[in-house]
Amino acid sequence: MRIVDARVIVTCPGRNFVTLKVVTDEGVTGVGDATLNGRELAVASYLRDHVVPLLIGRDPARIEDTWQYLYQGSYWRRGPVTMSAVAAVDTALWDIKGKVAGLPVYQLLGGRSREGVTVYGHANGETVDEVLTEVARFVDLGYRAVRVQCGVPGLPRTYGVSADKMFYEPADAALPTETTWSTEAYLAHVPGVFARVREEFGPTLRLLHDVHHRLTPIEAARLGKSLEPYALTWMEDPVPADLQEGFRLIRSHTTTPIAVGEVFSSIWDAAQLIREQLIDYVRTTVVHAGGITHLRRIFDLAALHHVRSGSHGATDLSPVCMAAALHLDIAIPNFGLQEYMRHTEATDEVFPHGYHYDGGYLHPAETPGLGVDIDEQAAARYPYAPAYLPVNRLTDGTVHPW
């Protein structure tokens, strides 16, 4: 079998997605997600101009060799653009391998390690009362884990809080909107929010919170300590992770578990955090961390160091990424949690898929391959529309991580 074509499809059914569709001479096809929020066309060009020409004529069965060829062979390694492009090829080749074998991809990864993939949803509100209503909505839907984000009094707009509850989309404008941040106001407010949520929902609902890289290590240590009475499952991205040793300071002060890594693109971004056991969950996912092949490598390293998976699953990861992530989630020994933000109906129409939600779990499709596809005619009805993530400033105007 040989690869005869590879199409890069950019579509915007409510938000932008980049998808690679690999076609073989025997008519078997495979899909891979290549979406990089706010930088979509950079990956599309990397694929079209620099990767697709290298795929034509290759044997799609050689997944590892193709991965090494694209990673080592390019000389320029790592980085989100490169790794998202490599991920798309890798994911498409696993899809093809599954179809050729007549097996869902998780069977090729060692088979099922659990009955379902436990997911968490996003409950958010401007006020604590609104947050409680939203948490209740997820509990009613059967969720066992809920991420809680609340408006901060005094700040006009807070990350993670949106009007449209089920389809939160931070890339909201053709040029970046600007938001304002105050660490003091935030740290003063958050513990009280979790006190109310715990009081209302009892001790067993798993609660998570995303700090979105906004604190310094000592501030994060303070937050972690102040949240200890509410037994969070994780405190996410408490500080930017460029300085991995910074997590030692957080760790030495608090037992609140830490999840990091949605912006990581390779095992090297996470290696020190994992080896020194500075985190509890690694949030890398298929599309941004080199595909199924490389993500498996990260999770295997993590398994040796008591670190579990907690993959990113926001709306900017397409159903193709979600389908691939679920095959890994169901197979690996050290699965932790999977983020699940529902896509819009238009997105589901463009990406027909066989995975489904049931009582707090997602289940991968049982059909051969990944069990997801792209409807290219539907995709063509939604042309690319520029959209940026917001930029964040302190109240004095200083640019701050968002």
Q: Does 310 interact with ligand GCO (rule: CB under 6 A)?
A: no
Give the active site residue among 46, 120, 143, 159.
159
170 binds, among Mg ion, ligand GCO, none (CB under 5 to 8 A by kind): ligand GCO
Of 40, 219, 329, 339, the one binding ligand GCO by CB under 6 A: 339
Question: Which residue has tokens 């096809």?
Answer: 29
Residue 32 DSSP SS3:
strand
Region from 32-40, 81-89, 117-125, 208-216 binding Mg ion, contact rule CB under 5 A: 208-216
The residues in 165-224 that bind ligand GCO, with binding defined as CB under 6 A, are 170, 210, 212
Given a contact cutoff of 8 angstroms between Cβ atoms, the answer to whether 223 and 190 are in contact is yes
301 binds ligand GCO (CB under 6 A): no
316 binds Mg ion (CB under 5 A): no
How many residues contact ligand GCO, by CB under 6 A? 10
189, 212, 213, 288: which one is catalytic?
Answer: 212
Per partner kind, with CB cut-offs from 5 to 8 A, the member of ligand GCO, Mg ion, none near residue 280 is: none
Q: Is 159 a known active-site residue?
A: yes
DSSP-assigned states of every residue in 52-103? HHHHTT--TT-HHHHHHHHHTTTSS--SHHHHHHHHHHHHHHHHHHHHHHTS
104 exposure class (CB count in 10 Å sphere: 0-12, 13-18, 19+): buried
Q: Which of 305, 343, 336, 304 is nearest to 322 (CA)?
A: 343
As given in the structure block, the two tokens for residue 337 are 């949690």
DSSP string, 320-368: HHHHHHHHHHHH-TTEEEEE--PPPHHHHHHS-B--EEETTEEE---SS
Q: Please report how close the Cβ of residue 33 comes to ligand GCO at its closest, in angstroms.
A: 13
Burial class (CB in 10 A: 0-12, 13-18, 19+), 102: exposed
Q: Does residue 33 bind ligand GCO (CB under 6 A)?
A: no
Instruction: Identify what 108 binds: Mg ion, ligand GCO, none; CB under 5 to 8 Å per kind.
Output: none
Comparison of 262 and 280: residue with beta carbon closer to ligand GCO: 262
Residue 383 contacts residue 16 (beta carbons within 8 Å): no
Would residue 382 show up in a list of annotated catalytic residues for this protein? no
Q: For Mg ion, which is the closer residue by CB, 210 or 280?
A: 210
User: Which residues would be at the binding site for ligand GCO (CB under 6 A)?
Assistant: 37, 170, 210, 212, 262, 312, 314, 316, 339, 389
Residues catalogued as catalytic? 159, 212
User: Which residues would be at the binding site for Mg ion (CB under 5 A)?
Assistant: 210
